Amino acid sequence: MLVLVTDGEDRAALAACRSLARAGHAVAVAAGRRPAPAHSSRACARRLYVPRSLAAEDFVSGLATALLDTTYDALLPASDAALLALSRFRERLPSPLLLGLPPREVVARSLSKLALLEEAGRAGFAVPESEECVGKSEALAAAAALGYPVVAKPTTSVVTAGDRAERQGSRVAHDRTKLERALSALGTPVLIQRFYDRSNVLSLAGVASHGGLAAVVTASWSRRWPPVDGAASFAETVVPPRSVVERGEALLAALGWRGIFELELLDLGGGRFAPIDLNPRPFAVRAGANLPAVWLECLQGAEPACVVARPGVRYRWEEGDLRHLLWQLRHGHPRAAAAALRPRRGVVHAYFELTDPAPLGAALVDLGRRSVRQTFTTRA
């Protein structure tokens, strides 16, 4: 099959590209920035340049134009922004490519953090103490009632302000000043949640099909970037707790989600897990569970037996782990910094592969450009 993967700038697209090629599929990658790591991969057979997925209408229009030249068998959105854009403007794309795209209302509900909290409790998960706030004054009052620090997060990860859209994650605010700064970036409505200090993150990823879960990858996060409220920079696959898998399956069924997913959960201890995010990004795929390949099987009508990733496979996001190390050194935590330097076996890297080294070079060039822009912006 010829599969078109979006968001070639992101490491999730690179993971999907490599995984599909390993399963024998041909892969085309659409990206809006050069260099794009997935474009540099040997797994990429065709390179397309379209506006970035955050520019939703232009992004879909660019894809529609590209689809006039070549017929693709499937379209895999590698980010929540791409998924939302494709869902919103789906009428502009050939209907066969929409086979794996859930209905518009399901996409919106599955990416809503409010809906996630609502269905999490019904599925048997713990629910973080939260308050939905429609204005700044409500958010400040909710934070005062919960007690600092608190977590501020947008109701969806893609925040639209006027004609601009940005991807925004959660932010930990240790006092009123930092919360006001977070609200300036996130806007409203916003969720204010209790901050659970020292709670590890467990990631439940996989493929949800009409018959249940067709693949499961469970990973425990060791390090994050940013350190308190960021994405996994180092993680290790673990044996999936049965209760987490069962509740996760029930949660996805209630939302109506079908396709690749990653459900992030706070480990509150005592077997209690609280969902904090649900997204469509195909990350951990080198532990015996090839999520994009399983997803394609499901699109073709198959109901494969559930594949469970083997434990003990480690994942490192190179840039994030390096930034984590430097942050720990700056804050006087040499032991925590040393943990990032410890050699480990069985590590899968986000960018580097011995047989496919070029994406790391592209990522380094992109990092350098971003650093230069940030330096000039700060000076200005």
Contact yes or no for 127/273 (Cβ under 8 A): no
Q: Tokens 């782990």 belong to which residue?
A: 321
pLDDT, position 286: 73
CA separation for the pair 264, 38 (Å, rounded): 25
At 281 the pLDDT is: 83
pLDDT computed for residue 376 by the predictor: 56
- Sign of the CA dihedral 101, 350, 47, 290? negative
Tell me the pLDDT of the chain (380 aa) as tens digits.
999 999 999 999 999 999 999 999 999 999 998 899 999 999 999 999 999 999 999 999 999 999 988 899 999 999 999 999 999 999 999 988 998 899 999 999 999 999 999 999 999 999 999 999 999 999 999 999 999 999 999 999 998 766 678 888 899 999 999 999 999 989 889 999 999 988 899 999 999 999 899 999 999 999 999 998 899 999 999 999 999 999 999 999 999 999 999 999 999 999 999 999 999 887 656 788 999 999 999 999 988 889 999 999 999 999 999 999 999 999 999 999 999 888 888 899 999 999 999 999 999 998 888 777 665 554 44
Taking only Cα atoms into account, the Rg of the chain, rounded to an integer number of angstroms, comes to 20
> pLDDT value at position 364?
92
Cα–Cα distance measured from residue 307 to residue 292, given in angstroms and rounded to the nearest whole number: 12
Residue 375, pLDDT score: 59
pLDDT reported for residue 303: 86
Tell me, what DSSP letter sits at residue 24? T
Query: Nearest 5 degrees, angle CA 379-CA 178-CA 173?
Result: 125
Q: How many CB atoms lie within 10 A of CB 212?
A: 14
Using alpha carbons, select from 69, 90, 191, 202 the residue that is nearest to residue 142.
Answer: 191
pLDDT at site 366? 84
The token pair that represents 306 in the structure block: 């559930």
Q: Is 116 helix (H, G, I), strand (E, B) or coil?
A: helix
User: pTM for this one?
Assistant: 0.94
CB pairs under 8 A, 24+ apart, for 43-46? 43/17, 43/18, 43/356, 44/8, 44/17, 45/2, 46/70
pLDDT given at position 304: 86
Q: Using an 8 Å Cβ cutoff, are 16 and 78 in contact?
A: yes
Kindly provide the residue ranges of all beta strands, DSSP E only, lying in the chain, ordered along the sequence: 2-5, 26-31, 46-49, 74-76, 130-133, 150-154, 158-161, 164-167, 171-173, 190-194, 201-209, 212-225, 231-237, 259-269, 272-279, 307-308, 314-316, 347-349
State the sign of the Cα–Cα–Cα–Cα dihedral 326, 330, 331, 332: positive
Confidence (pLDDT) at 162: 61
Query: Which residues have a Cβ under 8 Å from the Cβ of 178 and sit 6 or more positions away?
Result: none
8 A C-beta contact, residue 180 and residue 150: no
